[in-house]
A and B are shown apart, each in its own frame.
Chain A
Amino acid sequence: MWILFLLIYINFNTHGEYWLYSDSLSEHFEDFGSISIREKNIALLTDYFIEDNIYNTQRKYLLFPSLIATSRKMQLFLGYFHKTLLHGLILNQTHDIEYKRFRYIKGISAEATYKQFHINLFSGFPQDLQFDGISYSTTQDTQSIVRGISTSLDLASINIGTAYLRLNRYNMPAPYAFSEIGGLGLEVSKNTFSFLFDAAFKKGVDFISYTRKKGNGLFLSMEFSREQYDLLFQLARYDSLSFYSINLPPVPIKTEILPSSGNSDKGGSFTLSLPHGDGSIEIGSGAIYSLKERSYIHPKNGRAYQEVYIETNRYHDAINYSIKTGYEHRLRIEPEYTHLKDIYVQSDIDLLKLSLECFLRLDRFTEDTSKYLKGVLNSTFYITSNLNIQLLTEYATSKIARYDFERFWPAVELSFNIEGGNISLFYGKQRGGLVCSGGMCRIMPKFNGLKLIVSKSI
């Protein structure tokens, strides 16, 4: 008689949202979760997604299962997995929780490590699930297959990496079906200095002229770190580098705006952090311009973004606070204006003894010729250790088209912590507008109504 004991680890997580729009009484429901079962070296896991709303004729039920086998020197993925190559310059199929963009590759991936050398081979279909503000859209892209290889060599303080990716589109005529992107990266880290340089080269297709189109990209980051300060410089130049949106080049400025999504961008930034006593000061500046149109000199076609800011933080037993003030200049980032200039001051204060957290922000916008102010005040009061109430208000002094001619957005949110999770109930208005993350931007529609959000882990 055989008796076999298997020690397994089971994990279940779920995050569900129910929205009720107060004006139309239409509903939206989504639930994203994961179940994993893990034995010592083998894990079986699946993400699942359910969506039901008025804009879709059918409910969406999606499963993203994977089998992961791990040994000391090898790792094998079968099913859905994530992948980033050369800091996103070549490939970035990962989740962005804030932006509600879930990206996978469905296929097989094998990774092996021998001493300091690491190699990865993979093949699969890129698959995306993305929220557009109203409902989710899926790109179950069975017409495109990606195959790639990456290597890295980790020496004491030097890392050298290479990556190559080939995309085969079965729905394209043969000469234009193949696109390639490859690159190399060098990373040097010493105690007080780190240096990162990535270069990528693309051979793609111009869909207007159906000819071969070359692209390239460079990303450079340098950091000097001492006890008294940390200084970071970043530079980037991307020319026709966007690879069917499955790569997301690094954004060299703090605000996540890359006006041409890696197709025609150049820019850079510096960030100086000065830790002191119970807090820190951060000073930063950055700018991105269109590559070809020299947009700041000839602003007719180009798009550009500039930022300058100073931020101070202080941490104390009784009070934590941060104050930030800055200036932003957007040129043709959104269609409604040419120039948008914003001078702002914001503060985050936690009065820990009073169990009160406040966030304030005041913006002075100059949108082409019109000027207006916009203020935000969010207060969170902790009633008990597991229950808090949040009052959210936002007010603009002018009614402008981008905000649907509205100027007051009040809301209230009640949050309750449960064992391994959280329940929150939101009621009120949320202003729509531009949301940017990872260099990609989208216009979020406004919301007015009720939201019930439940997260739970077992």
Chain B
Amino acid sequence: MHLLFFIVISTFPLKTITTIDHNIIDFDTIYTQKPVYISFWALWCSQCIKELDKINTLQDSMDFFVIAINEDGKRKKARVRNFAKGHKWRFSVSLDESQKLMREFGILALPSSFLYDTKGHLVKRFTGFSSKDEKNFIKLLDSLYVDTLSTNLH
């Protein structure tokens, strides 16, 4: 007799990613140490850019890892790099060259962002980022720090 058990779980979806500056990020070592925020964006998406500008400012005061995955395609690689540097984004920017990640994450509209805790579980999916969302985001991150701290103490 064969028994087949399916356990439906939510695990951290990225192993490695290459940034636009050709650095390779290994998420296995990152997501266990700090919350990870994955944001999908495009140059034409003004809401996405506002969101990432806010996230950039938040990174001054809060410790979380950010990867901004661009969906403009390989055709705009240089323009994306120029844009990120112009906006002084300190987080890593990556290019989803043939939209593999967009398909795997099931992105149908932009902006779409995902916040993961240090266990690799999806905490919240954002489909926009208003000033009110910013306050909720800070509260959410604070609660994740408390969880991580208590886990580490145990």
Contact = CB atoms under 8 A, between A and B. Distances in A.
Nearest to B57: A315
Nearest to A422: B127
A448 interface: no
Nearest to B4: A4
Given A7-B9, A9-B9, A348-B46, A43 B104 contact: yes
A238 B87 CA distance: 31
A188 to B, nearest CB: 11
Interface in B87-108: 87-88, 97-100, 102-108
Given A83-B98, A273-B86, A36 B106 contact: yes
B42 interface: yes
Nearest to B126: A417
Contact of A417 (B56, B102, B103, B128): B128
A388 interface: yes
Given A84-B74, A84-B97, A7 B11 contact: yes
Given A34-B106, A248-B75, A438-B75, A95 B99 contact: yes
B2 A4 contact: yes
B131 A92 contact: no
Nearest to A195: B78
B102 to A, nearest CB: 7
Contacts of A82: 98-100, 103
Nearest to B81: A223
Interface string A272-284: 0111000010100
Nearest to A313: B87
Contact of A251 (B4, B75, B110): B75
Contact of A84 (B50, B73, B125): B73
Interface string A256-282: 000000000000000101110000101
Interface residues of B, number: 61
A12 B107 CA distance: 10
B7 A275 contact: no
B8 A9 contact: yes
Interface in A163-188: none
A88 B78 contact: no
A249 B109 CA distance: 24
A29 interface: no
Contacts of A14: 108
A98 interface: yes
21 contacts: A2-B2, A4-B4, A7-B9, A7-B11, A8-B9, A34-B103, A45-B104, A47-B103, A87-B74, A92-B75, A94-B99, A189-B22, A234-B78, A250-B75, A273-B82, A275-B85, A275-B86, A315-B56, A382-B131, A420-B125, A457-B125
